[in-house]
């Protein structure tokens, strides 16, 4: 383990490209927060980079069982005090049983999940948010049923060819799920490569 280097771990070029612009927003959005749960941490590149860059924040990574071994290797190798070992989390296996956090973050995951998995995520989310918590979701979205770019339309076709249950999601549908979960849209931020960073916060009237 001690001899591992970053080149020994799974690598996502998309994560490498988007971690910089995402961090610029996280620096502001997560000011004063103490804990974040990342859903679908994948290669762990985001978890490692954000934990290194935001040392006052404890970054809790998570993923399904099949991805946990490689993710754990990277986390253990990093040996950061604010980056604990990852949580086994499948959005469809409820309840998650992983505690509450000041924020929940997920990137490039909703278009991989099935629609029912997306719904399960939003049903479970309120049970894991502290008061005044935020939900942050990064990825491509359609608006009023239309793709924002031709490249996103092509990406949607590619996703569906790989798995028919996948696909770029409608912003309005996602926002409606968030509202039902007691969340209020705070920001819809345009990001590079035709992506968005959607930010919701918890209504003061939302269930505790």
Instruction: Give 2's pLDDT tier (boundaries 50, 70, 90).
Output: very low
pLDDT given at position 102: 98
How many angstroms separate the CA atoms of 157 and 47, rounded? 29
pLDDT tens digits for range 111-130: 999 999 999 999 999 999 99
Q: Does the pLDDT of residue 6 top 70, yes or no?
A: no
pTM over 0.95: no
Instruction: Give 204's pLDDT tier (boundaries 50, 70, 90).
Output: low
Rounded mean pLDDT, 133-149: 97
Strands (DSSP E) contained in the chain are: 35-38, 58-60, 62-63, 87-88, 101-107, 129-139, 141-142, 169-170, 183-191, 195-202
Instruction: Give 1's pLDDT tier (boundaries 50, 70, 90).
Output: very low
Cβ pair 47, 59 in contact under 8 A: yes
pLDDT given at position 4: 54
pLDDT given at position 160: 97
Which residue reads 């998570």 in tokens?
62
Kindly list the distances between the CA atom of residue 95 and the CA atoms of 68, 79, 121, in Å, as whole numbers in the listed order: 19, 29, 10
pLDDT given at position 3: 47
Structure tokens, 109: 């995951």
pLDDT given at position 49: 96
Please give the torsion angle defined by the CA atoms of residues 22, 28, 32 and 38, in that order, rounded to the nearest 10 degrees. Answer: -20
Rounded mean pLDDT, 136-158: 97
Q: Which domains does the chain have, with CATH numbers?
A: 10-202 (3.40.50.150)
pLDDT given at position 15: 81
DSSP result, 11-66: --HHHHHHHHHHHHHHHHHTTT--EEEES--TTSHHHHHHHHH-TTSEEE-EE-HH
How many angstroms separate the CA atoms of 44 and 63, rounded? 10
Mean pLDDT for the chain overall: 93
pLDDT tens digits for range 24-68: 999 999 999 999 999 999 999 999 999 999 999 999 999 999 999
Share of the chain above pLDDT 90, in %: 88
Instruction: Please count the residues of the chain.
Output: 208
């Amino acid at each position: 383990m001690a001899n591992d280097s970053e080149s020994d771990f799974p690598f996502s070029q998309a994560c490498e490209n988007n971690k910089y612009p995402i961090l610029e927003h996280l620096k502001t959005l997560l000011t004063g927060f103490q804990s974040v749960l990342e859903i679908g941490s994948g290669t762990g590149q985001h978890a490692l980079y954000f934990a290194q860059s935001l040392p006052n924040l404890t970054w809790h990574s998570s993923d399904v069982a099949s991805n946990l071994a490689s993710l754990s290797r990277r986390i253990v190798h990093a040996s950061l005090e604010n980056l604990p070992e990852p949580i086994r989390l499948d959005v469809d296996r409820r309840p998650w049983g992983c505690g509450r956090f000041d924020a929940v973050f997920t990137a490039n995951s909703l278009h991989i999940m099935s629609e029912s998995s997306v719904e399960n995520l939003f049903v479970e989310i309120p049970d894991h948010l502290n008061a005044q918590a935020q939900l942050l979701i990064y990825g491509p979205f359609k608006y009023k049923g239309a793709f924002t770019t031709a490249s996103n339309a092509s990406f949607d076709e590619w996703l569906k060819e790989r798995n028919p249950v996948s696909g770029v999601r409608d912003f309005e549908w996602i926002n409606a799920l968030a509202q039902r979960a007691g969340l209020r849209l705070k920001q819809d931020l345009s990001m590079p490569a035709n992506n968005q960073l959607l930010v919701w916060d918890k209504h003061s009237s939302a269930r505790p």
